Amino acid sequence: AEELRKLRHARVALRAANTSPSRPTDADLKRLDSSIKKCTALTRKLTKITEESRASLLDELGKVNMRKYVTEAVAATVEGKLKSSDVFAAVDVASKLHATYEDFAPALAESLPRFVCPNAKAFAPSAAAALAAKEAATAAGLDAAEVVTPTQRRLKLR
């Protein structure tokens, strides 16, 4: 019962910290190591988050500037295999990334449902992106029929 109380208190504190995070300034991030070698190694470690590696990952996240690699960090965090005992460690790591990088939460919110339900049409980017592109075109005074959606662009590139 005491352990559950501590766990609940920790979750409430983490939730409060995540609702209004105090992010480091640009100057603080520039002081951190942003080498490709370190960022790639950390991204690889993010695919294997465990309870044992939690402390080292949190420590390393405080030393490395992954601003340019936030999308890779999101992909690694989402695609990594987790055991039920490692969920709290993954939440801590994701919370640290959210507190450090402003772009992390929106990217996570976008990719997590797609990974959990890959075939769900509700999470397909094409409908929302097409609607947003057409609305932007009509607001800019362009003909909505001439607007090329992101999906159409992807199909032309392939």
Q: What is the pLDDT along the chain (158 residues), one digit of tens a residue?
A: 888 898 889 889 888 888 888 888 889 989 999 899 999 999 999 999 999 999 999 999 999 999 999 999 999 999 888 898 999 999 999 999 999 998 888 888 888 877 777 766 655 555 556 666 667 777 777 665 666 655 556 555 44
- pLDDT given for residue 95 in this prediction: 93
CA–CA gap between residue 42 and residue 48 (Å, rounded): 10
In degrees, rounded to 5, the angle at the alpha carbon of residue 36 between the alpha carbons of residues 90 and 25 is: 70
- pLDDT given for residue 48 in this prediction: 92
Closest C-alpha among 27, 86, 93, 90 to residue 60: 93
pTM of the model: 0.71
- pLDDT given for residue 106 in this prediction: 87
Longest dimension (CA), the chain: 63
- 8 A C-beta contact, residue 111 and residue 75: yes
- 8 A C-beta contact, residue 48 and residue 78: no
- 8 A C-beta contact, residue 74 and residue 42: no
Residue 142 gets which letter from DSSP? -
- pLDDT given for residue 46 in this prediction: 93
Burial class (CB in 10 A: 0-12, 13-18, 19+), 123: middle
- pLDDT given for residue 158 in this prediction: 41
Q: Which two tokens stand for residue 28?
A: 């603080």
CA–CA gap between residue 19 and residue 77 (Å, rounded): 20
Closest C-alpha among 114, 113, 48 to residue 80: 48
- pLDDT given for residue 57 in this prediction: 94
